[in-house]
């Protein structure tokens, strides 16, 4: 079993994010879902991004880091798009972190003032033509992580793993979950 903190995307802690967590739990993992928006969800990505910008990306990342205070040291931090920010920061800066799984987004390692830690595994999942994700940033990050994996999926949709949204892609989500579970199994 792996302890995972899974951060939601800009539209909030949707039913689709909860469903994804349930599928991880079905494989024996313990998943914690912090709500960085205090219950608010948004119907469109643009509305969610506008909220995130008003709240401040640094403030939301800090809320995510604070939410992890009770997580075991040997945890995995995962996040969808906006949620990749606190997940990546925790994986890079929290002593004892096992790994990060970043869905639909990542930032350069230098964003958090440090190189990617050699002992921390990394897995990134992006759609090839997703306008919201920066493929070159993800490629560079995966190359800097000694145990980095990058998976690129066909299409241009952004939040393909959220079953409550129109851009949901069940086939790619199944593959993403399979690869995530293989990654998590290797960490145990």
What pLDDT band is residue 114 in, cutting at 50, 70 and 90?
confident
- pLDDT for 108 beyond 90: yes
Mean pLDDT value of segment 59-88: 97
Mean pLDDT value of segment 116-127: 96
- The per-residue pLDDT for range 149-184, each reduced to its tens digit, is 999 999 999 999 999 999 999 999 999 999 999 999
Q: Which neighbouring-strand residues pair with 125?
A: 103, 151
Query: What's the pLDDT at 110?
Result: 92
Query: What's the pLDDT at 99?
Result: 97
Burial 99-123 (b: 16+ CB within 10 A, else e): bbbbbbbbbebeebeeebbeebbbb
What pLDDT band is residue 25 in, cutting at 50, 70 and 90?
very high
Query: What's the pLDDT at 1?
Result: 86
Mean pLDDT of all residues belonging to the chain: 96
- pLDDT for 113 beyond 90: no
- The per-residue pLDDT for range 39-73, each reduced to its tens digit, is 999 999 999 999 999 999 999 999 999 999 999 99
Contact 179, 153 (CB under 8 A): no
Which residue from 10, 50, 24, 13 is spatially nearest to 176, judged by alpha carbons? 24
Query: What's the pLDDT at 188?
Result: 66
Domains of the chain: 3-187 (3.40.50.1820)
Which residue from 144, 140, 142 is spatially nearest to 124, judged by alpha carbons? 142
- pLDDT for 116 beyond 90: yes
Contact 85, 57 (CB under 8 A): yes
């Amino acid at each position: 079993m792996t302890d995972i903190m899974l951060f939601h995307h800009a539209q909030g802690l949707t039913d689709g994010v909860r469903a994804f967590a349930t599928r991880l739990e079905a494989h024996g993992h313990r998943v914690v879902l912090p709500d960085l928006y205090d219950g608010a969800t948004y119907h469109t990505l643009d509305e969610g991004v506008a909220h995130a910008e008003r709240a401040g990306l640094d403030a939301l990342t800090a809320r995510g880091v604070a939410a992890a205070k009770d997580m075991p040291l040997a945890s995995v931090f995962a996040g969808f798009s906006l949620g990749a920010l606190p997940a990546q920061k925790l994986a890079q800066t929290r002593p004892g972190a096992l790994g990060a799984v970043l869905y639909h987004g990542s930032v350069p390692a230098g964003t958090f003032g440090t190189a990617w830690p050699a002992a921390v595994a990394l897995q990134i999942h992006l759609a090839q033509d997703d306008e919201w994700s920066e493929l070159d940033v993800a490629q560079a990050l995966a190359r800097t992580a000694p145990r980095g994996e990058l998976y690129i999926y066909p299409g241009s949709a952004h939040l393909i793993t959220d079953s409550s949204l129109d851009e949901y892609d069940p086939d790619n989500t199944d593959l993403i979950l399979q690869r995530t579970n293989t990654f998590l199994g290797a960490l145990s």
